[in-house]
Amino acid sequence: MSGDGIVLSIRSLGFEKVAEIESAAKTQAEQAIEAASHKQHDSAEQYISLHVEQAKRDALRNEHSAAIANGRLLAEVKAEFLDRVAHKAQERLMELRDSPEYPALLCGLALDALENLGADASVHVDPRDVDVMAQCLAEGSKRYALISVIGDIETAGGVIAESSDGKISCDNTFEARLARENAMKSKEIWEVLQQ
């Protein structure tokens, strides 16, 4: 082999080696690019998934907050409605004192309150009702002859009956009866408002 042949042979081997190195480098570069692409794709999917989950949690939190706020608002409206009903009932009770039926109503409330108390009980009324109450008891049975009538409470109407020792008391004023009735009826009204 001549010197030119050897040089050509070495060059040929060099070109082959360069081509081989280039091919390996190209393959490695393609693999790196593909791996980076997958990694970038996976990172993008993770990023999107993370933000979608966060958005879902935020939406659920906002939904719960709105439901709580609506529940509070509904409760406030219902409470306001019940207050208006109670106020309206109070206004109507105040009008009863001026009605012709009031003396009989007052007498009925007193007799109801005195039913389980002794003959020496006392009846507390509004000062405006002392005469009406005294007349009611005088016209009643002899059982009520010893009952004292005391005009020492301020009320829209009704009585507070009390045993002689003060241990037993029955509040049969309009206000007390209204409060008891409101307590019993507010649940029923609340259920109707739920519908």
**Average pLDDT in the 109-134 region?**
89
Q: What pLDDT, on a 0 to 100 scale, did the predictor assign at position 153?
A: 95
Confidence of residue 127 (pLDDT cuts 50, 70, 90): very high
The chain-wide mean pLDDT, for the chain, equals 79
The mean pLDDT of 179-187, rounded to a whole number, is 79
Query: What's the CA gap between 32 and 62, in Å, rounded?
Result: 44
Q: Please report, rounded to a whole number, the percentage of residues in the chain having pLDDT higher than 90.
A: 22
| CA dist list (Å): 55 to 52, 59, 68, 108, 180 | 5, 6, 20, 67, 50
Which region among 67-71, 132-136, 185-189, 191-195 has the lowest average model confidence (pLDDT)? 191-195
Q: What is the pLDDT of residue 159?
A: 95
For residue 142, the model assigns a pLDDT of 75
Residue 195, pLDDT above cutoff 80: no
Determine the pLDDT at residue 154.
93
Sorting pLDDT into bands at 50, 70 and 90, what band is 74? confident
Residue whose token pair is 């480098």: 25
The answer, yes or no, to whether residue 173 has pLDDT greater than 90, is yes
Whether the predicted pLDDT of 193 surpasses 70:
no
